[in-house]
Amino acid sequence: MTPSPEGRPEETDMELIDRWKAGDSRAATRLVGRHSQALARFAASAGEREGIEELVQDTFIRAFASLDSFRGASTLRTWLFTIERRLMLDRRRAERRSRETVPVQETDHVSEYGALDSLIAEEAQERVRKSLDALSPTQREVFTLRVQQGLSYKEIAEVVGSTEGAARVHYHNAIQTVKEFLRDE
Amino acid sequence: MNKCTVSDIQELLPDLLHGALAEAEKVRVEAHVATCESCQEDLDVLRTVKSAAVFAPSIDVDRVVRQIPPYRAIVPVEAPARTRVASWLVAATLALFVVGGGSVLMTRQNSSGTSVKAPAVDSGAPVATAQSSAPSRVAVATPNPRITEPASSHPHALALAAEADGLSDRGLVQLMNDMDTFDALPGSEPDPVISVDSGDSL
């Protein structure tokens, strides 16, 4: 148990889960507050452009509905990333299907991401986003989980359903691509 | 710029960035980075990428929590499955018992064949039952009894009739006479047939 900024010992995720199961709804608030921004960042880094808040919400609803199956073998955050990643894949599949059947509208290019873009003041951030766009989806996931979320290769392998060795290779290839992209810009 | 060949250090740079290294490991990685231009560049790229992850929208925690349903312990799935299997076993056992019991009953009736329902002389009279534990030439029960008129005066032929409803007066008289000569008749009177009233005696 690590100390909180107020000096009180910080409850672990497992302790909060037990408290929530015992009927303490404040424990759910603590858990969501602890992990929601990381989930939002992961979604944004993975290329999600719309409905990130809904995605995070769905992730927590699914996670809390199946908390009995979480045994603590991995960290709760890794487990949440795994759930969120599945939801993202489902969403992308659904989008692909709808794109195949629904004609493209003139207004389709106007998105939440456009609004978010306007908030990005620094040129470096825009360049990073473009460099991440140059990666394959798996490379991008591995790279952002490693660099922005600080997950270990073992945890990344759990999230993306791969092996530690494959995660290392994806990370190595990704940093080479990003480095070259930023150097050429 | 020469490419760094110390791959384990390269792989640890994100951990250095997140402060996730143990003290000894941190000192080792930092000492390497101080002398390696390639790793310095990698570290700069990693810092830029990490700090660029700022455009994710801020999440309304309370709104998310409100959508989370209250906890409900998961009931193990084995229990209903077991109950279902048990129900099938009970049903199968009962079916076996009924079919098997019926078969045994029919077999016994066919093999011993010692009882025959005697013809009723009068529709209001109690039914007389011939009972015997010994095989008899009189009582022959057939699975599919047929009502037959005695073809001759021989008792055997008469006894083939399992039901007496179709007998003529002559046949009935002969049957009554033949019954007096049966070897297998019980020494005592048969149990009286208790008629069930519709609650008048209560």
Tens digits of residue pLDDT in A53-88? 999 999 999 999 998 888 888 899 999 999 999 999
Name the closest residue on chain B to residue A172, using Cα atoms: B11
pTM of the model: 0.57
Domain membership of residue A136 as a residue range: 123-185
Do residues A36 and A68 both lie within one domain? yes
Assigned token pair, B111: 């093999």
Same domain, A45 and A131: no
| Predicted local distance difference test score (pLDDT) of residue B73 | 67
Closest Cβ opposite residue B11 in set A56, A69, A168 = A168
Same domain for A167 and A99: no
User: Which residue would you say has higher pLDDT here, A169 or B149?
Assistant: A169
Q: Which of B61, B67, B69 sits opposite A29 (nearest CB)?
A: B61
Q: What percent of the residues of chain B are helix, what percent strand, and what percent coil, each to the nearest 5?
A: 50, 0, 50
When pLDDT is averaged across residues A12-29 and rounded to a whole number, the result is 92
Query: In whole angstroms, what is the distance from residue B45 CA to residue B152 CA?
Result: 119
H or E stretch at B117? strand B116-117
ipTM summary value: 0.74
Say yes or no: A41 and A110 in one domain: yes
- Tens of pLDDT, residues B101-141: 777 767 776 665 544 444 444 444 444 444 444 444 444 44
- Label residue A150 left, alpha or beta by phi (over 0 means left) and psi (-120 to 50 means alpha): left
Contact: B65, A25; criterion CB under 8 Å: yes
Domain extent listing, chain B: 1-51, 105-188
Distances (CA, A) of B165 to B37, B50, B128: 118, 104, 14
Domain boundary among the residues A91, A119, A147 is at: A119
Which helix H or strand E contains B124, and what residues bound it? none
For residue B123, what pLDDT is reported? 43
Mean pLDDT of B175-193: 57
Query: Do the chains contact at A45 and B45, CB–CB below 8 Å?
Result: no
Of A76-80, A84-88, A149-153, B191-195, least confident by mean pLDDT is: B191-195
Distance CA B46, CA A123 (A): 16
What residues in chain B have their Cβ under 8 A from chain A's Cβ atoms? 10-11, 14-15, 17-18, 20, 41-42, 45-46, 48-65, 67-71, 73-74
Which residue among A57, A119, A175 sits closest to B55, beta carbon to beta carbon?
Answer: A119
Between A and B, how many CB-CB pairs are < 8 A? 116
Residues A76 and A161 in one domain: no
Question: Do A75 and A63 reside in the same domain of the chain?
Answer: yes
Question: CB-based burial of residue A110 (10 Å sphere; 0-12 exposed, 13-18 middle, 19+ buried)?
Answer: exposed
Residue of B nearest to A22 (CA): B71
B56·A124 Cβ contact <8 A: no
Q: Check residue A107 and give its pLDDT.
A: 40
pLDDT above 50 (res A137): yes
Q: What is the pLDDT of residue B138?
A: 43
Q: Are residues A41 and A98 in the same domain?
A: yes
The pLDDT of residue B191: 53
Facing A147 at nearest CB: one of B14, B55, B67: B14
| Structural domains of chain A, count | 2
Question: A92-127 pLDDT, tens per residue?
Answer: 888 877 766 655 443 444 444 444 444 444 577 778
CATH code for the domain of A176: 1.10.10.10
